[in-house]
Amino acid sequence: MSDVLLKIRDLKIEGRSDETWNPIINGVSLDLKKGEVLGMIGESGAGKSTVGLAAMGYTRDGVRISNGTIEFDGIDLVRASAAVKRGLLGKRIAYVAQSAAASFNPAHKLMDQHTEGPVQHGVASRKESEADGIELYRRLRLPNPEEIGFRYPHQVSGGQLQRAMTAMAMACRPDLIIFDEPTTALDVTTQIEVLASIRDIVEQFNTSAIYITHDLAVVAQMADKIKVLLKGDEVEEADTRTMLSAPKEEYTKSLWAVRSFERPTKPAINVSATPVVSIQNVTAAYGTVDVLHDVSFDIHAGRTVAVVGESGSGKSTTARCITGLLPPRIGHIEFDGTPLPLSYKQRNKDQLRQAQMIYQMADTALNPRKSIGETIGRPVEFYMGLKGREKRKRVEELLAEIELEPTEYFNRLPSELSGGQKQRIGIARALAAEPKFIICDEVTSALDQLVAEGILRLLAKLQDELGLSYMFITHDLATVRSIADEVIVMKEGEVVEQGPKKEMFTPPHHPYTDLLLSSVPEMDPDWLDNLLRERGVDNLGDAAVDKM
Amino acid sequence: MHKPVAGLIRIILQRLLLGLLTLFAVSIIIFIAVNALPGDFAESILGQGATAEAVNAIREQLGLNESPLSRYFSWLSGVLRGDFGIPMSQALFQSFTGASTGGEVVTVVDQIVPRLKNTLFLAGVSAAISVPLAVTLGILTALYRNTAFDKAMNVSTLSAISSPEFFLAYILILFLAVLNPVFPSLSNIFPGMEFSDRLNKTMLPALTLTLAVTAQMMRMTRAAIINLLASPYIEMARLKGLSPMRVIVTHALPNALAPIITVVALNLAYLVTGVVVVEVVFVYPGIGQLFVDSVKIRDIPVVQACCLIFAAVYILLNLTADILSIISNPRLRHPK
């Protein structure tokens, strides 16, 4: 069958803000054949999700289709009545959302939500649909397929929920599924399981799919062809291999090139020097449960130590111990060779000043009602005691340091900044205390690749100029590769392996490091196939059970 | 699944204990407030021409001359034994005639219990009408939000809640008792009545109360549901092609229960404790009327008992609401 299933022509979409309609999508066209998978990539704000939802004839509140046609199997979705669309949604066109944890209704069991579509659409009885659900859970390699559907969403892990949501989308055997960033919220090791499951099941049922993501390496594994979007405009479209090997447009090339930033290797650490921060045999607990077990490592002057691991491995908890927010139960922390009081409450101003933090979500880490000048001025006054004109001068210096025009940004509010600029303000605020040591907690993971790279370059420049030490918490190994000097791998609250970056990226590895490294998607379209062959599918099943 | 049950029981016990503590604090406030009322029973019963001796004699008999502290503790210890004392009006009658009236001693409990039963009956009928009505209207206005229906419902329920209750009561009497004699305008309830007859006579006060409490419950239901409509799982439900009604009833409503339950409980408490005006208008023999009459003659034991009952109703209903809210959350019902 080579018939076109979905045909979009010159689609224009507008969003309402400040009482006027502003364009979001400026004319996107696409054709999708039966059984074909289209990858749609672009940075945040490119309009990927908007196009994906429009392909279902759906727009969110405050968004409207202003022009163009969307034809699904001959039905015009722009002009179809709500009742006609309801007949298609869930039955012939299904949706898999980015966060399964938020998209499953917390009040109902997985199976009740799974069977709802088929029963409401009259496709199957509750009993048939339940049996089919268990079968789909089995095919998606969910552990305990007979039983897992009878749990509530909060009783199931994120990776499992994402697969259960894919199963739910398959419940009526739709012709088309929209996958909206289905693995973005997952750890790399979990991502592989979900990617493999999605690809298998789409192939088995010859389902067409639109796969939306910002991760090029992921889309390379999943899609037959790729479309690139930029700020609501179509950049280019080509089949996956062509797109990866020979992108035509400059913008696409720039996306491809991001992963090339890498700092030169620094000379080996002078072992006799006193480390800036030394974490010694730290065990910490939330309540009565130990979450960190005997963690020890040093951070030397002018070095970047990357702490990597999956969610729940204790990376951020370690940071909380260093800052004194969570006093360790056992062990201690030294700064420049002097032991620090364990709780921040007992530390003096100078001890507090020396260690600063930059946060993952710059959005929530900045007070929305304080101007940039006030936000940065606060630590300048608090730690350095500067006031009035001197304070203003220092804030302007800091703004220049983070490459933002001082006079232009001084009076702005956080809402008037882009994501990358907000993160720069976070950096300036940390610098204002003139610290020796900064903890960067996933500072680039909420940012698009190009913007993230700018932040990494800035951090590197500041380190060279000011001799700062960084503890860089991340789950992204590409980031580790580009800026780390030393790497610490954590798993379930323990340090699994540590050493210079070069050693960490050359075999032999600790098995867990190996699992992490090999799980990072690569741009090669055959990467997933090769990896699965190497690991063996049974192995993958075991990994899924391990995660329980 | 033993753990959640044990946890729930612990929470209930904690809240009950806290409720008792609150009740104790309330008893102090009630005592102080009642005693701060100008004048006392002796003065009010004897009138303006009373001699100081007569007033003093009655005070002596009723123990009104004792110190407030000792009066409080003798009252409290009685309450703890379930003895709310004897209404001053009854006590007086006996002591002045010097003989028994032929019947047994009428205690505060004897006086309050039938009245409380009547009030609870009225509250029950009003709740049976208003709660389903409010929740249904809340769901419908959420479903048809920003339509003419939604606006009409909001305006009419808000007008009802903004009007004084006696006004609503007279309007209802005008239309349902005078112009169209459907229900009687006087609610003379007595023991041993047929249920249907009783219901018929309770209808007008119940409808008045319904008008007074529906708006808040309806608007909270509407707001709690609309608040959830932007959540990803509601979008998911829509993208599964479910009907708008199903999206709201099976996907939004179960997650909106906690705030709705809280408001329903508050309004139910109002149905018991706030009925004074309505009872007076319809001459309904409930606890509200008894309360007002007792305040008039400074019959302190009755007033105190009524206040304590009102406080207990509030505490109990809020406790029930808390527990139901907890139960409505699957995360607490089914921990990992």
Please check whether residue A240 lies inside any domain of the structure. Answer: yes
What SS3 class is residue A8?
strand
No. of H helices and E strands in chain A? 24, 20
Q: Do B240 and A120 touch (CB under 8 A)?
A: yes
Q: Which residues pair with A4 in a beta bridge?
A: A33
Q: Find the range with the poorest average confidence among A4-8, A123-127, A507-511.
A: A507-511
* Tokens of residue A22, six digits: 């502003």
* Residue B246: closest C-alpha in chain A: A120
Same domain, A306 and A215: no
Residues 222-281 of B with CB under 8 A from A: 230-233, 235-243, 246, 250-251, 254-255
Nearest chain B CA: its distance from A429 CA (Å): 33
User: Which residues in chain B have Cβ-Cβ distances shorter than 8 Å to A60?
Assistant: 235
Burial zone of B97 (CB within 10 Å; 0-12 exposed, 13-18 middle, 19+ buried)? exposed
Q: Do A155 and B334 touch (CB under 8 A)?
A: yes
User: Which residues in chain B have Cβ-Cβ distances shorter than 8 Å to A99?
Assistant: 232
Tell me, what's the pLDDT at A544? 41
Tell me, what's the pLDDT at A94? 94
User: Which residues in chain B have Cβ-Cβ distances shorter than 8 Å to A90?
Assistant: 239-242
Residues 53-72 of A with CB under 8 A from B: 56, 58, 60-61
H or E element at residue B336 = none
* Residue B251: closest C-alpha in chain A: A105
Mean pLDDT score, A9-24: 87
Q: Which residues contact B46 (CB under 8 A, 6 or more apart)?
A: B54, B55, B58
Nearest chain A CA: its distance from B328 CA (Å): 8
The CA distance from A93 to A161, in Å, is 20
Same domain, A234 and A316: no
Chain B touched by A89 (CB under 8 Å): yes
Are A165 and A100 in contact, with CB atoms under 8 Å apart?
Answer: yes
**For residue A450, what are the domain limits?**
301-320+342-487+498-506
Nearest chain B CA: its distance from A61 CA (Å): 9
Average pLDDT over chain A, rounded to whole?
Answer: 87
Q: In what order do the strands lie in the sheet with A37-41?
A: A93-96, A176-180, A208-213, A37-41, A225-230, A233-239
* Residue B1 confidence (pLDDT) above 50: no
* Residue A390 confidence (pLDDT) above 50: yes
Tell me, what's the pLDDT at A273? 84
CA-to-CA dists, residue A227 to A37, A39, A223, B50, angstroms: 11, 6, 10, 99
Tell me, what's the pLDDT at B273? 85
User: Which residues in chain A have Cβ-Cβ distances shorter than 8 Å to B334?
Assistant: 151-152, 154-155
The CA distance from A541 to A548, in Å, is 12
The DSSP annotation for A464-490 comes to HHH--EEEEEES-HHHHHHH-SEEEEE
Mean pLDDT score, A35-44: 88
Q: Which residues contact A68 (CB under 8 A, 6 or more apart)?
A: A8, A9, A10, A11, A12, A27, A28, A29, A78
* Residue B63 confidence (pLDDT) above 80: no
* Residue B116 confidence (pLDDT) above 70: yes
Tell me, what's the pLDDT at A518? 84
Neighbours of B194 (CB within 10 A): 8
Q: Of A202, A233, A257, which residue is a domain's last?
A: A257
Same domain, A313 and A247: no
* Residue B336: closest C-alpha in chain A: A155
Tell me, what's the pLDDT at A179? 93
Tell me, what's the pLDDT at A1? 45
Tell me, what's the pLDDT at A362? 82
CA-to-CA dists, residue A8 to A52, A71, A75, A104, A230, angstroms: 11, 6, 11, 29, 18
Same domain, A214 and A102: yes
Interface test with A, best of B229, B231, B233, B260 (most A CBs within 10 A): B233
Residues 59-98 of B with CB under 8 A from A: none
Same domain, A365 and A466: yes
Q: Find the range with the poorest average confidence among A319-333, B78-92, B311-325.
A: B78-92
Interface test with A, best of B1, B226, B236, B260 (most A CBs within 10 A): B236
pLDDT per residue over A43-90, tens digit each?
Answer: 877 888 899 999 999 998 888 999 999 999 889 999 889 999 999 998
Please check whether residue A327 lies inside any domain of the structure. Answer: no
Q: Of A204, A222, A257, which residue is a domain's last?
A: A257
% residues pLDDT > 70 (chain A)? 97
Q: Do B331 and A117 touch (CB under 8 A)?
A: no
pLDDT confidence of A108, banded at 50, 70, 90? very high
Radius of gyration of chain B (CA): 25
Of B233, B243, B336, the CB nearest to A105: B233
Please give the backbone phi and psi of residue A536, each rounded to the nearest 5 degrees, phi first: 80, 135
* ipTM greater than 0.85: no
pLDDT confidence of B153, banded at 50, 70, 90? very high
Domains (range + CATH), chain B: 108-296 (1.10.3720.10)
% residues pLDDT > 90 (chain A)? 42
pLDDT per residue over A440-475, tens digit each?
Answer: 998 888 787 778 888 999 999 999 999 999 999 988
**Gap between the terminal Cα atoms of chain A:** 41
Q: Find the range with the poorest average confidence among A487-491, B32-36, B288-292.
A: B32-36
Please check whether residue A294 lies inside any domain of the structure. Answer: no
Tell me, what's the pLDDT at B65? 75
Please check whether residue A325 lies inside any domain of the structure. Answer: no
Same domain, A98 and A25: yes
User: Which residues in chain A have Cβ-Cβ distances shorter than 8 Å to B246?
Assistant: 120
Parallel, antiparallel, or unpaired for β A277-286 and A93-96?
Answer: unpaired
* Residue B29 confidence (pLDDT) above 70: yes
Chain B touched by A103 (CB under 8 Å): yes
The CA distance from A177 to A90, in Å, is 9
Which amino acid, B204? L
Interface test with B, best of A58, A84, A93, A103 (most B CBs within 10 A): A103
Alpha helices in B192-252 (DSSP H): 195-228, 232-239, 244-246
pLDDT per residue over A241-256, tens digit each?
Answer: 888 888 888 888 877 7
* Higher-scoring residue by pLDDT: A401, A537: A401
Chain A touched by B3 (CB under 8 Å): no
Tell me, what's the pLDDT at A430? 94
* Residue B99 confidence (pLDDT) above 80: no
CB pairs under 8 A between A and B: 74
pLDDT confidence of A548, banded at 50, 70, 90? very low
* Residue A540 confidence (pLDDT) above 60: no
Chain B touched by A158 (CB under 8 Å): no
* Tokens of residue B122, six digits: 């009225």
The CA distance from A214 to A235, in Å, is 14
Tell me, what's the pLDDT at A541? 42
Q: Do A103 and B250 touch (CB under 8 A)?
A: no
* Residue A302 confidence (pLDDT) above 50: yes
Q: Of A237, A257, A277, which residue is a domain's last?
A: A257
The CA distance from B121 to B171, in Å, is 23
* Omega within 30 of 0 (cis) for the link into A406: no
Nearest chain A CA: its distance from B239 CA (Å): 6
Q: Do A90 and B243 touch (CB under 8 A)?
A: no
User: Which residues in chain A have Cβ-Cβ distances shorter than 8 Å to B236?
Assistant: 95, 97, 103-105
Tell me, what's the pLDDT at B7? 73
Please give the backbone phi and psi of residue B123, each rounded to the nearest 5 degrees, phi first: -65, -40
pLDDT confidence of B91, banded at 50, 70, 90? low
Same domain, A156 and A218: yes
The CA distance from A309 to A492, in Å, is 9
pLDDT per residue over A417-434, tens digit each?
Answer: 888 899 999 999 999 999
Please check whether residue A397 lies inside any domain of the structure. Answer: yes
Chain B touched by A97 (CB under 8 Å): yes
Same domain, A347 and A248: no
Same domain, A21 and A156: yes
pLDDT per residue over A283-298, tens digit each?
Answer: 998 877 888 999 999 9
Query: How many structural domains comprise chain A?
Result: 2
Q: Find the range with the poorest average confidence among A38-42, A378-382, B39-43, B174-178.
A: B39-43
Are A305 and A485 in contact, with CB atoms under 8 Å apart?
Answer: yes
* Residue A156: closest C-alpha in chain B: B336
Parallel, antiparallel, or unpaired for β A289-299 and A277-286?
Answer: antiparallel
Query: How far from chain centre, in Å, is Cα B68?
Result: 29
Please check whether residue A413 lies inside any domain of the structure. Answer: yes
Are A63 and A20 in contact, with CB atoms under 8 Å apart?
Answer: no
The CA distance from B131 to A443, in Å, is 50
pLDDT per residue over A177-232, tens digit each?
Answer: 999 988 877 778 878 888 888 888 888 888 999 999 888 888 888 899 999 998 88
Q: Do B232 and A102 touch (CB under 8 A)?
A: yes
pLDDT per residue over B214-257, tens digit each?
Answer: 988 999 999 999 989 989 999 999 999 999 999 999 999 999 99
The CA distance from A462 to A75, in Å, is 57
CA-to-CA dists, residue A257 to A419, A479, A480, angstroms: 21, 14, 17
The CA distance from B221 to B260, in Å, is 6
Which of A164, A122, A133 is CA-nearest to residue B242? A122
Domain with A429 in it: what CATH number? Answer: 3.40.50.300
Nearest chain A CA: its distance from B31 CA (Å): 44
Which of B282, B314, B312, B280 is CA-nearest to residue B295? B280
Tell me, what's the pLDDT at B96? 53
Please check whether residue A539 lies inside any domain of the structure. Answer: no
pLDDT confidence of B3, banded at 50, 70, 90? low
Mean pLDDT score, A20-30: 89
The CA distance from B63 to B42, in Å, is 11
Q: Do B239 and A90 touch (CB under 8 A)?
A: yes
The CA distance from A191 to A346, in Å, is 42
Please check whether residue A156 lies inside any domain of the structure. Answer: yes
Q: Do B239 and A89 touch (CB under 8 A)?
A: yes
% residues pLDDT > 90 (chain B)? 36
